[in-house]
Structure 1
């Protein structure tokens, strides 16, 4: 049934700032790759303006780009949109308020779905309420396909590959692996990201209650987070400050699904900071945002300042960058004990906008064009679980750099 869909990819939320960048990336990709896509959102007028811009990028798209009017609050419109697509990509957040109806429409229609959320409550809610239905329909629901959490999830995956290279499956399954990720970036957070964070802070109690239904222990393998602590790291020549994002949760789920991560796997997630003064300043800022998010009036004021459709200029984005350094250790006991250590990195350009748009677009293209080579894993899955090696190759080909910096055996 899915092979006869009108569009390979439908991009929902296309007229937002990140949505427009994703649409432009797809338009450029259409020069070298044959696929049909549509842009979707609430305003037909804004969609038409975007359609004209995409045609100016690639005139061959003049009679090929679809335009779909759909509202995140109207199940009927979402159902029609999902029924027209093999894959639906969404940039329309905050997802905890606008996302689940679309996910359910995609499951009912048998269309794969991917988004750029970094909202733990939304992702965990989908795991509780939508995973079984999606798996039964052989649909992939893949969250966190932007800067949260593609570089981190695939960076850990790449690091594990370097650690276990040349080992037998039996040796890997009997080994202990530990990976730490250290994030540094230059650039401005998107308004959508800030809005999502404010909503998440305001719903902490709801989220913690929901978490009690998840994270059942794995009786065969030990998969757990590292105990977070602030420390000075010589290998970084900087401080490592615990970084409470959704990324560790995503990486640990990927590890739990894949025996190549070893019999025992631990992960720690940090932001790389040059000085303690910056750590204090960052903590004060987050503490202030958290406190203001608890009160309705101040929360509304914060949301008005976030400006979800605003974004930096192309010139400013061109100066932005990110790098995640991973330190991995492997310990193999038995008749022939072995210790391995690697240092790897994942790096790219503007994380909040350009690279996030690229990552989401490549996710859609991977689901469509690499379908036969993807892992046979369905339901609410992580990027690595759902896309695996084909997506790693796409990221490398698209300019995201994966490097082995050091190796010790």
Structure 2
């Protein structure tokens, strides 16, 4: 890393005027009260709007008065992004869709020797950044860690937590995500919808990236777990469908690095959405099929982007959820792991029998899209600040890394507990 000389703050929150960015600012203010030595700045295209964010935050009960540096930075002006990156030890990037606006910030962080985290859930962006910038980030001595929000900290750290509490060789992990809303329901901001639309449209771009990214073949398990489409799961007592987010693709990167760099046995990870009743499941499947079809063609894709409320049945909007909706929304991720009592000496060896042990764990937390995400990305940045540059850093190496690989041996899970994000084992075989 270029060193911290001349860097005015620990963290720069880029995109602070966005819906999620403002939540990260609030989390950072609370963090500064808890840890007075922590300093941060906020950045965006308009200093006036940045000032408005600060004024709103000052009105929130318990936050009080504070001074924060404002940095004008715009992805259309690369020199302003580079100057922003030079001012902090780590950049928290909240500006999406990342396929359009992310690489400029990653490149600037590499050039400036600045650590980087974001809240992207876009596989095409995340995987291409690893392919293009991993070696440069290693040489600079910095960490570039994407997907540090709801995509995909619960899944990545939940898998890491489950591995640590399983005695034996894990063969597979299935995650089941569910949400609970209050009487006023829940909703999400347009930015998430926009990223999802473009993500589906760019799915074909992933194949050539992955051919380069996963050049080495992993051991093929005898007991291969196939993804199921629509099914009732006895372990979690509910209907489920494949989760449409980035969790599985990010888990694949983590497991690949675990095997090729750490000589750890790879685990099959499959992500599901727990949908409730069969009627609710059918509605979600129909909506999902229509959404994926429309996202593939420019004309219908433009309709999705122009009328998010109409095509999401009111769930996505430019206004986003209300404070009350966020306060009364929570998530739960149930994690079912299966494996073997016996541990083989080498990860290249393959078990021939059917798995004979099971573990069930869970991750729970508040409103996932905003309150939990702001805590997750901030504490990911704090983990890097505290654990980088140490002689025996618990982050395996510098470079472009998925969060599970970067943080599995760090204190991140403990930090998340302070925000009401809990990890626990429900049951496990002796």
Instruction: Provide TM-score, normalisation by structure 1.
Output: 0.90
Distance 1:212 1:334, change over 3 A: closer
CA deviation after TM superposition for structure 1 residue 89, in Å = 0.4
1:333 offset after TM fit, Å?
3.8
Match of 1:368 in 2: 385
Contact 1:16–1:309 (Cα < 8 Å) also in 2: no
Q: What is the 5 A alignment of 1:272-311?
A: 272-306=274-308, 309-311=318-320
Matched, 1:182 2:176: yes
Q: 1:150 aligns with which of 136, 149, 153?
A: 153
The Cα shift of 1:308 comes to: 7.0
2:290 partner SS: helix
Q: Does the 8 Å contact 1:14/1:47 carry over to 2?
A: yes
On the 8 A contact 1:155/1:326 being kept in 2, the answer is yes
Q: Indicate the residue corresponding to 1:377 in structure 2.
A: 397
Tell me how far apart the structure 2 counterparts of residues 102 and 335 of structure 1 sit (CA, whole Å).
Answer: 43
Aligned-partner SS, 1:30: helix
**Which of 292-301 and 220-229 deviates more?**
220-229
Aligned to 2:198: 199
Aligned to 1:254: 254
Equivalence for 1:6: 8
Q: Which moved more, 1:97-106 or 1:214-223?
A: 214-223
Q: 1:394 aligns with which of 392, 415, 429?
A: 415
Hey, what's the Cα distance between the residues in 2 that align with 1:321 and 1:335?
39
Shift of residue 248 of structure 1? Answer: 1.4
SS at match of 2:166: helix
CA distance in 2 between partners of 1:321 and 1:286 (Å): 22
Using the TM superposition, give the Cα deviation of residue 220 of structure 1 relative to its aligned residue in structure 2, in angstroms. Answer: 6.6
How many residue pairs match? The answer is 398
- Structure 2 counterpart SS, 1:130: helix
- 5 Å matches for 1:132-147? 132-147=135-150
Q: Which runs of 5+ in 2 are unaligned?
A: 181-185, 309-315, 346-352
State the secondary structure of the residue aligned to 2:241: strand
Question: Which whole-Å CA distance do the structure 2 matches of 1:261 and 1:342 have between them?
Answer: 23
Counterpart in the other structure of 2:350: none
What does 1:10-409 correspond to in 2, within 5 Å? 10-33=12-35, 34-56=37-59, 58-59=63-64, 61-62=66-67, 65-164=68-167, 175-186=169-180, 187-218=186-217, 226-229=225-228, 230-258=230-258, 263-306=265-308, 309-333=318-342, 339-371=356-388, 372=390, 373-388=393-408, 389-409=410-430
CA RMSD between the two structures: 2.6
Q: 1:142 to 1:264 in 2, by over 3 A?
A: closer
- Structure 1 residue 219, shift from structure 2 partner: 5.1
**1:32, CA displacement in angstroms?**
1.2
Deviates more, 1:363-372 or 1:42-51: 363-372
Change (3 A) 1:124 1:257: closer
Q: Which runs of 5+ in 1 are unaligned?
A: 165-171
Q: Distance in 2 between matches of 1:311 and 1:2?
A: 39
Question: Which SS does the other structure have where 1:253 is aligned?
Answer: helix
1:179 deviation in Å? 1.1
Give the distance between the partners of 1:18 and 1:343, measured in 2 at CA: 31
d(CA) in 2 for partners of 1:78, 1:308: 29
Note the alpha carbon deviations across 1:200-247, whole angstroms, 9 max, x for none.
Answer: 122222333433322223457869984111322222221232223211
Quick one: distance in 1 between partners of 2:414 and 2:130? 27
How far apart are residue 194 of structure 1 and its match?
0.8
CA distance in 1, matches of 2:188, 2:48: 27
Structure 1, residues 79-102: CA drift from partner, whole Å, max 9, x if none? 100111100001100000000011
How much does 1:332 deviate?
3.8
> After the TM superposition, which of the residue ranges 245-254 and 357-366 deviates more from structure 2?
245-254
